[in-house]
Amino acid sequence: MTDELIIRDLDERLLARLRIRASEHGRSAADEARAILVAALATEGMATRVRRRFAGLSVEPPPRTELPRAVELP
């Protein structure tokens, strides 16, 4: 599958930074953009991992036995 992604109106300074970064890694700007996208989208955050780990688990908080108290400040 070889889909294309075209990004229009990319800031010239950003494109220059992409080209420099690509050169530093010895690849084309397109390959560098692909690597950046893969790295950014392949990782998941902590919340996603926790959600997946505990998916389907039904936990109810214990019932309150006393009313909340007002905070007492010194």
**What pTM does this model have?**
0.57
The residue segments making up the domain with residue 24 are 12-53
17 within a domain of the structure (yes/no): yes
Give the pLDDT score at 61: 80
The pLDDT of residue 64 is: 84
Confidence at residue 69, expressed as pLDDT on a 0 to 100 scale: 86
Q: How many helices (H) and strands (E) does the chain have?
A: 3, 0
The answer to whether residue 37 is domain-embedded is yes
Residue 25 lies in a domain: yes
Any domain includes 61: no
In a domain, 59, yes or no: no
pLDDT of residue 33: 95
**Does residue 70 fall inside a structural domain?**
no
Low-confidence ranges of the chain (pLDDT < 70): 1
Query: Within a domain: residue 23?
Result: yes
* 32-62 residues labelled b (16+ CB within 10 A) or e (exposed): bbeeeeeeeeeeeeeeeeeeeeeeeeeeeee
Residues 6+ apart with CB under 8 A from 18: 29, 32, 33
According to the model, what pLDDT value does residue 1 have? Answer: 59
4 belongs to a structural domain: no
